[in-house]
Amino acid sequence: MIEPIDDLGLTVLSRILWHAFLSSRVDKLPREEFLKHQRERLQQAIAHGYSKTKFWRNWLDRSGVRPDDIMEIEDLRRIRVCTKYDLLAQPLEDRMADDPKNCIVRSSSGTTGGPMKSYYSKSYYDYLAGYYIQGHYLRIRGILGIGPLDKLMRITHGNPSDVRTISGRTKSLGFTSRLVGPLHDYFARNVTLGDDIDEILPEIRKFKPDFIKSTPSYLRLLAHSVSSEGIEEIRPKALMTGGEVLDEPTRKYLQEVFGCKTYQGYSASEIGKIGFECETRIGLHVSDSVIVEILKDGSPTLPGESGNIVVTCLLNDAMPMIRYDLGDVGSWANSPCSCGRNTPLLESVDGRREDHLTFSPNRIISPKSLMSMLHRDMSLPPSQLVQETDDVCRLRVFAKVKSKGISNLLDEVQAFLGSQTKVELSLEPSQELRVKFRPVISYKNLRDKRWTLVN
Ligand SMILES: [Zn+2]
């Protein structure tokens, strides 16, 4: 039974702070203790999904598995992997372990497989809020060099952000909100970006954020404006990216323009937080609220080997998610991180599976390697590489005339893809930025074309 939150503000706040305290400790548990902790949470999550939802009961039955069979993390492999299409094929009520009216709802952008609503239980939301507070005000204070009094800004495309939802949540906390709400609004701001960065520049300049969270595409746009207009007021102490792959040339460019470090986060609306970079920035630490598997042909990959990212959420009681294939490709790090955290470490998240250029079953190219090429010279206009057929790719550059730099980029992409692939150049007169600008896409794989740069 979940308590109504509106009249229990202090209780909720204390739970959030408790989660913040817990998550600051779990990361650095000795490895064996951490695994024991995860094992127990996994057993509970599987038993809960099986007993409370028709969907997961049927799913486990069809896998020939009973909850008692899942004692170790490796036992998860006995359960079939589930995709968004499997979930959407069944009615929502079959997947819910709680009344949706008691839950906090999040919507995915629908980049892969169409939009899907996700429901978080209030206790899971408290965990995420605690993780957020711990992450931003305590952990990140140490990691990123920003302090509890520094101002945070998030630039999104209108999706509810953690900042806004926590702000909304504090407003529902009764008298507590009178204290927390204005303080929060002073220290954290959410702005939404449509197609034109100039529309939000005045607000960013006025707010003077110490820490900015956004997608790499939006931060690139902001960096272009800051550097071309010589804007002095936007001098954050750290940047955090999410929502898209961060390629290294983009990271380097952002760091040069803003003069601060850029960190990468990894989350999905269906799941919540999945991973974050620590001070070493050599990989993404997996959040203690999930178990991540990386699979190739159904088997776990070796460190450094690319595979499909499959996630089990351990804490969302409202809408259990077991062995959910996110549609992303990534790899494990070869060695543990030197920071002392014992959580599993992702070496890289390489982007959506459907954005990989697929020429044959044995010739699949990661969008991240191509994005690094497209973003190496930031003085060039924005560009996009589209795979059109098995042997034709199109380099779309948003410029009126072909420059020497554009010719060089074309030659470089052609040399990279080899003579068996023809790379054609299109100069496009104007760009129209969509929710998530995908610099590399494959029409061959694309089911949903809404998020391309130009329709
Ligand atoms: Zn680390």
Angle at 24 between CA 313 and CA 291, to 5 degrees: 20
Q: In this predicted model, what pLDDT tens digit does every residue of 243-257 receive, in sequence order? A: 889 999 999 999 999
Asked if residue 291 lies in contact with residue 312, where contact means CB atoms within 8 angstroms, the answer is: yes
CA of 23 to the centre of ligand 1 (A): 15
The burial class, CB within 10 Å (0-12 / 13-18 / 19+), for 42 is buried
351: alpha, beta or left, given left = phi > 0 and alpha = psi -120 to 50?
Answer: left
CA of 336 to the centre of ligand 1 (A): 8
CA of 144 to the centre of ligand 1 (A): 12
Task: Give the pLDDT confidence score for residue 60 in this predicted structure.
Answer: 98
Task: Give the pLDDT confidence score for residue 443 in this predicted structure.
Answer: 79
CA of 27 to the centre of ligand 1 (A): 10
Ligand 1 ion: residues within 5 Å (CB):
278, 280, 337, 339, 341
**pTM across the whole model:** 0.86
CA of 224 to the centre of ligand 1 (A): 30
Q: In this predicted model, what pLDDT tens digit does every residue of 339-359 receive, in sequence order? A: 888 889 999 999 888 888 988
Task: Give the pLDDT confidence score for residue 423 in this predicted structure.
Answer: 97
CA of 107 to the centre of ligand 1 (A): 30
**What is the set of domains in the chain, with CATH numbers?**
9-349 (3.40.50.12780), 377-442 (no CATH)
**Which positions of the chain have pLDDT values less than 70?**
1-13, 15-16, 20, 23-24, 108-114, 132-144, 148, 158-185, 195, 430-437, 444-455
CA of 341 to the centre of ligand 1 (A): 6
How far apart CA 374 and CA 382 sit, in angstroms, is: 8
CA of 110 to the centre of ligand 1 (A): 31
What are the tokens at 232? 């002095």
CA of 187 to the centre of ligand 1 (A): 27
Angle at 443 between CA 437 and CA 382, to 5 degrees: 35
Task: Give the pLDDT confidence score for residue 252 in this predicted structure.
Answer: 96
DSSP 80-119: PPB-HHHHHTS-HHHH-SS-GGGSEEEE---TTTS--EEE
What are the tokens at 167? 């702000």
How far apart CA 377 and CA 410 sit, in angstroms, is: 13
Asked if residue 197 lies in contact with residue 221, where contact means CB atoms within 8 angstroms, the answer is: yes
CA of 283 to the centre of ligand 1 (A): 7
